[in-house]
Every structure is written in C-alpha cells, then in structure tokens.
C-alpha cells in the first residue's frame, strides 16, 4: 500500500507489515486546458467520431503519453478544476472527459475559482487596512488545491459519478451564451474606441471591479429589504448569497477584526473598493490586462467577434496562472500574454504553452524527466514495478 510519503509491504505467509518512508516530492504543477483534455480523450477513445475518422493530430497522443508517464513518475501533477467539470458537462462525452482529467489530476483539484478570488481579495484587504497595500500576496498553491500535491500516488483512483440534472446543464449553457453575448457587445464598443490606449482600457477594466462589486451588493441588500416587507417572495437564490456578496462580507469582517468601528465599516468598505491598489491583485490585474489586449485588437481593426469560450478562458488564466509552473492554453490568449506590456507585467514564473509552441511544451516535459536524478527512477521501479510508467493507452478499451 502506498500513501502520502510512505509505503507498506506485507508478508504473504505471516502477514507481517513493514513500513518504509519515501523521500519528499516536488512535483511541477501543470494546468491543461479543456480543449487539450478533449483532444487527448478523442485520440484514445474508439467511441468518438474523431477517432473513427482518424483525423486527429497525433500530437495529442504524444502529449498524453508524456503527461501520463510523468504523472506516474511522480514528477508532475495536473490538478483539475470546476472549469473542466462545467465544460465537460456541455459535451456528449462527459464521463470519458472526466476519466481523462481525473487520471492526470490524481485526486487533486483547484478550489472553486470564486473561492480563490475571495482568498486573494481577503489577503489584500488585510494588508490594505494595516497600511501595507503594496505588500505582495503569498500565492501558495497548497492553499487553493484540494488534495495533496506532493504525495506519492496510490495505484488506484476512486471516482464517483454524480448525476447532473438537465436543468443544471441547461443553466450552464445559458450562462455561457449570456456571457458571450455581453462580451460581444463590449467588443463592438471597443471597435469604435480608436482614440484610447492600452492603459485606458486597463484602468477602466480594473477600476470597474470595485464599483461593480458594490453595485451588486447594494442590489442584494435592497432585495432582502423587499423580502422582509413582503413586497416580493424569496427564491432559492436568496438563500445562497453570490460570491460577490460573500466578498463584501469578508472585507467587512476583516475590517471589524482590525478594529474599525461599526459606524465606519461602510465608509472603509467603499474606500477600499475604490482603492487604486486593487488593480495589483493578481486575478484583477491579469483579467484586466487580457481584456485590454482584446480591446486593443478590436480598436485596431479586428472584425471577428470573440469566441464563445473567450470569457471563460480569461477567467481560467487570471485565477490559476499564478499557482502553476506551466499552463497549456488556447492560442489566442497565449498570443496576448506574449504582447507588451503583458509579457513584462504578468510575471509569476509560469511557463505558457499552446499549439503555437506545442513542440516546446513536449521539450519542457522531457526536460523535467531528463533533469531528475537516476535514484528517483530506481525508487519508482522498486515501489510500482517496471511497467508502471507506461502510458495508459487502453483507458477507454
């Protein structure tokens, strides 16, 4: 039996157990976007149309072989996320997709993206109220991941398939379409803003966060008052406050603990959410810069509207990039991250890859293995056996 940082061997005759400690691991954390998960699934799954047609790029097979092998060698981990789940639910291949991302994540998952944003905001609010608004945030990946990143992998993965109702899936689809329509309208406005600079759009995007947060919260308070007076009837959503509402409550709790009098809490909340320092919070900074890059593209003459998944892609990158050693994302967002000033301003030490530099990604993965001492592989073979590192090409057979 293998778990965490030890393994146990048992004598077949007398059942005596002997426990052996294992060395500490330092796995690379790699986020693989949904489109790559989908293509790796298709290249292995005989039930998909793409597999039957034989039209898929064999790069996806090579990528799966590399990633799966390195996961088994305990050198990398690819945590899954709610983004994987939601996008898979909109596909006819939900369970096969789930098998793929759970195989590579080995029981580790990033926290809900709204929870990660609340965590960053709360830490920044603590710094701000203590007069240290410029203090860099401690972006510890272990604080935003469920499961142990650096544990030695067990031989088995236990998975539970939940039943998602059609209403839930349709809500996801409607929300996605609504978000896309909203971004398309903004994109059309950007096309006419030819007199603005990148910094103008960045300041607008980052500045809107605080004002929009307060607007949403005040609408929530107004609705509660209407419910109390019987003007309207409550719904299930009124029992479950939005993440934005929870953010404001977090901020006020922090200010209260810092000694701010009750009479000044609201004033301080407004002051904080109007602070220019908010634009340095990682998820706000990254998303605002990506939207500013998209606005610049629109104003420079781009006619094509953003893809349906663009808003989702920006959300993924802005929330998860600071916690990853590497990300494999879509080509468009990768292109924006290579442009100035993004390539200089967004520097968290994360290696960014896409289909644009797909061979570089394979080289990056190969270098991880090549730079690992031989005794690590000896330990792997001793614990798991000689064939353990072979990729799971029969996952769907």
Q: For residue 334, give Cα distances in angstroms to 240, 342, 356.
A: 36, 11, 8
How do residues 203-235 score in pLDDT, each as one tens digit? 999 999 999 999 999 999 999 899 889 888 888
**Contact in structure between 210 and 288 (CB atoms under 8 Å):** no
Q: For residue 392, give Cα distances in angstroms to 41, 45, 206, 274.
A: 12, 12, 44, 52
Cβ atoms within 10 Å, residue 11:
9
* Mean of the per-residue pLDDT values of the chain: 95
Q: What tokens appear for 11 in the block?
A: 């004598």
Residues 6+ apart with CB under 8 A from 27: 74, 75, 76, 77, 149, 150
pLDDT given at position 54? 87
Q: What is the dihedral of CA 262, 265, 268, 273, to 10 degrees?
A: 170
For the cut 80, the answer to whether the pLDDT of residue 237 exceeds it is no
Q: What tokens appear for 10 in the block?
A: 């048992």
For the cut 90, the answer to whether the pLDDT of residue 157 exceeds it is no
SS3 for 109? strand
Tokens 């954390």 label which residue? 29
Largest CA distance in the chain: 82
How do residues 77-128 score in pLDDT, each as one tens digit? 999 999 999 999 999 999 999 999 999 999 999 999 999 999 999 999 999 9
Domain ranges in the chain are 2-108+149-164+353-384, 114-141+197-350
pLDDT given at position 284? 98
d(CA 37, CA 60): 9
Mean pLDDT of 319-337: 97
- Exposure class string for 270-303: b at 16+ Cβ within 10 A, else e: eebbeeeebbbbbbbbbbbbbbbbbbbbbbeeee
How do residues 349-393 score in pLDDT, each as one tens digit? 999 999 999 999 999 999 999 999 999 999 999 999 999 999 999
Specify the pTM.
Answer: 0.94
């Amino acid at each position: 039996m293998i778990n965490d940082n030890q393994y146990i061997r048992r004598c077949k005759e007398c059942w005596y157990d002997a426990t052996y400690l294992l060395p500490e691991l330092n796995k690379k954390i790699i986020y693989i976007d949904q489109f790559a998960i989908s293509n790796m699934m298709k290249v292995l799954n005989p039930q998909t149309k793409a597999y039957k047609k034989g039209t898929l790029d064999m790069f996806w097979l090579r990528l799966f072989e590399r990633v799966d092998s390195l996961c088994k060698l305990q050198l990398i981990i690819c945590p899954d996320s709610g983004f994987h789940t939601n996008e898979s639910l909109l596909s006819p291949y939900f369970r096969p997709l789930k098998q793929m991302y759970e195989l590579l994540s080995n029981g580790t998952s990033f926290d809900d993206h709204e929870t990660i944003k609340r965590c960053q905001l709360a830490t920044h609010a603590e710094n701000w109220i203590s007069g240290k608004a410029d203090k860099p945030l401690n972006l510890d990946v272990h604080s935003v991941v469920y499961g142990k990143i650096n544990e030695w992998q067990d031989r088995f993965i236990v998975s539970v398939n939940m039943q998602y109702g059609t209403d839930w899936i349709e809500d996801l689809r409607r929300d996605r379409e609504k978000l896309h329509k909203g971004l398309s309208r903004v994109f059309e406005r950007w096309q006419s803003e030819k007199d603005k600079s990148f910094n103008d759009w960045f300041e607008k995007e980052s500045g809107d966060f605080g004002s929009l947060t307060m607007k949403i919260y005040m609408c929530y308070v107004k609705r509660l008052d209407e419910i109390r007076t019987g003007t309207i009837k409550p719904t299930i959503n009124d029992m479950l406050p939005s993440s934005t509402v929870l953010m404001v409550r977090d901020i006020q709790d922090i200010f209260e603990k810092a000694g701010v009098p009750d009479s000044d809490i609201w004033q301080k909340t407004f002051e904080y959410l109007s602070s220019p320092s908010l634009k340095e919070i990682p998820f706000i900074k990254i998303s605002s810069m990506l939207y500013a890059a998209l606005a610049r593209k629109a104003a420079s003459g781009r006619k094509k509207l953003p893809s349906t998944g663009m808003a989702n892609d920006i959300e993924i990158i802005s929330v998860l990039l600071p916690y990853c050693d590497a990300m494999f994302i879509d080509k468009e967002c990768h292109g924006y991250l290579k442009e100035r000033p993004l390539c200089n301003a967004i520097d968290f030490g994360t290696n960014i890859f896409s289909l644009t530099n797909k061979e570089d990604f394979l080289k990056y993965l190969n270098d991880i293995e090549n730079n690992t001492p031989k005794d690590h592989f000896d330990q792997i073979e001793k614990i798991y056996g000689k064939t353990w590192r072979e990729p799971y090409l029969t996952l769907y057979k």
